[in-house]
Structure 1
Amino acid sequence: MHAVNTPHSLAPVTPLSADLAQQSLGEIAVALPGATAVFRRLKLDFCCGGQVRLVDACAAKGLDADALVTELKALVRDDLAPATPEPAALVDHIVSRYHEVHRAQLPELIRMARRVEAVHRDHPHVPVGLADHLERMNEELCDHMAKEEGVLFPMLKAGGHPMVGQPIAMMRHEHVDHGEHLARLVELTNEHTPPQGACNTWRALFAGTAQLAEDLIQHIHLENNVLFPAFESPSH
């Protein structure tokens, strides 16, 4: 994988508190990637109406604030890999923590990117081309993950295969492409840093692209440096 810049210099965001119900919709949208999809489904305005506390927004809509807080807390990801990286357990962790999360992350990021590019098309720092780039990443990642789940991972969970080196080599090669896409993502988002005065949607979008980048880097690391070497010849 090509070296990519890990997200830094992010615009400060309000950290999530233990009592999500008392935080504003805008604060939660920016601090918790994935929350925007939940708010959109429930028709809660986190952009223009982002200053409203979650508990008040729920009261106005007749929603159960406790149930919504429970749903939002479920979006906080457990990054802890198995203590003993037995291949089957590690594969299951990769699929649940990264594959399933990427599949949920990218469509929402694409939707927000299209909105930001349209609404702020006259802004000098609008991320032109970001939605298209995320579309390409989504297509290639979904294809890559389907090959892993359909061919390579079953081999690894079964203990390996004499020909396993070929699909591993192919996945490593595709990881290099993903690294190049991440480098381009850093360029398009100014290192995931929204401009001064950006709306909540723009800030949530860049918080989400930063999370995507971190997730994908860790995802590739676990495969390249932990999972795959156990099945490769020492000459690799």
Structure 2
Amino acid sequence: MNYQDILGSCSETTVGQLVSRCPQTLAVFRKHVPEIEAHRLTTVDIVASIANVEPKRLCQELFDTVMEQTPIEELDTDLLLELILRGYDAGHLGKLPEIHRLARKIEAVHRANPEVPKGITLAVKKLEHTLTDHIKRENAYVLKRMKHDQPPRPETPIAQMNEEHSVIKRQLKKLRQMTCNYHAPESACRSWRRFYRELKALDFRLSEQIYLERDVLFPRFQF
């Protein structure tokens, strides 16, 4: 999980917004800027500039503090839904076309190289189709019905979503096998290595999201 998933964009989230959500973050801000109370409307990245620290370092400290106070399993349902929709789904849908283009390029340019996984483009395209369709159905028929902890409808297809999660996990497993756990060979060019890095990151994020939905969010609504 990235800190942006919980904190939001550090160029938009203000000190006051974050402290109101998690009062313990005030101590982190004070450590870097003792007079932080005068900067409640200041965004996190500007505070990092004032304190002369790397924005990523400050955001990570704030993220760690938030998660210590509220483990992911105890996050408010609406916050979990926002995290899934904006943090995960939007990221997947934005990255998949790029990953597919990289796969097609690698398989075309290096088709004579025996270390190129044969059929990798088709495997990525299948994952893209499966995930895109899954996200559309899940958002329309499941997640929207969970806002504000609404009582679940008997027809809410939670079991179907979990079956689709299993399909996605099998597709990810196949990609790991085809790419030797995303380990690029010595002969790999920069695009090839980038392709494996992006694919590995997608695998991690997808697995993380499936855990959040299957083991944290959905049990709150199952009969």
TM over 0.5: yes
Identity %: 32
Whether the 8 Å contact between 1:165 and 1:231 is mirrored in structure 2 is no
- Listed as ranges, the matches of 1:1-236 within 5 Å are 83=70, 84-164=74-154, 166-233=156-223
Corresponding letter in the other structure for 2:113: H
Whether the 8 Å contact between 2:176 and 2:182 is mirrored in structure 1 is yes
Corresponding letter in the other structure for 1:192: Y
Which residue in the other structure is 1:22 paired with?
A: none
- Output the CA distance in 1 between the equivalents of 2:154 and 2:198: 34
- Output the CA distance in 2 between the equivalents of 1:218 and 1:143: 19
- Output the CA distance in 1 between the equivalents of 2:116 and 2:206: 24
Structure with more of its chain in helix, by fraction:
2
After TM superposition, give the deviation of residue 161 of structure 1 in Å: 3.8
Residues 219 and 164 of structure 1, relative CA distance in 2, 3 Å threshold: farther
After TM superposition, give the deviation of residue 190 of structure 1 in Å: 1.3
- Output the CA distance in 2 between the equivalents of 1:167 and 1:87: 18
After TM superposition, give the deviation of residue 184 of structure 1 in Å: 0.4
- Output the CA distance in 1 between the equivalents of 2:119 and 2:97: 15
Residues 89 and 164 of structure 1, relative CA distance in 2, 3 Å threshold: farther
Give the CA RMSD over aligned residues. Answer: 2.4
- Output the CA distance in 2 between the equivalents of 1:168 and 1:158: 17
With the length of structure 1 as denominator, give the TM-score of the two structures.
Answer: 0.62
Give runs of ≥4 in structure 1 deviating > 2 Å. Answer: 79-84, 158-166
What are structure 1's unaligned runs of at least 5 residues?
A: 1-72, 74-78
Which residue in the other structure is 1:44 paired with?
A: none
After TM superposition, give the deviation of residue 164 of structure 1 in Å: 4.7
- Matched residue SS, 1:126: coil
What are structure 2's unaligned runs of at least 5 residues?
A: 1-55, 57-62
CA displacement 1:119-165 (0-9 Å, x = unmatched): 10000111211111111111111111111211211111142344356
- Output the CA distance in 1 between the equivalents of 2:178 and 2:112: 16
- Output the CA distance in 1 between the equivalents of 2:86 and 2:120: 26
- Output the CA distance in 2 between the equivalents of 1:183 and 1:86: 31
Q: Which has the higher contact order (CA 8 A, sep 6+)?
A: 1
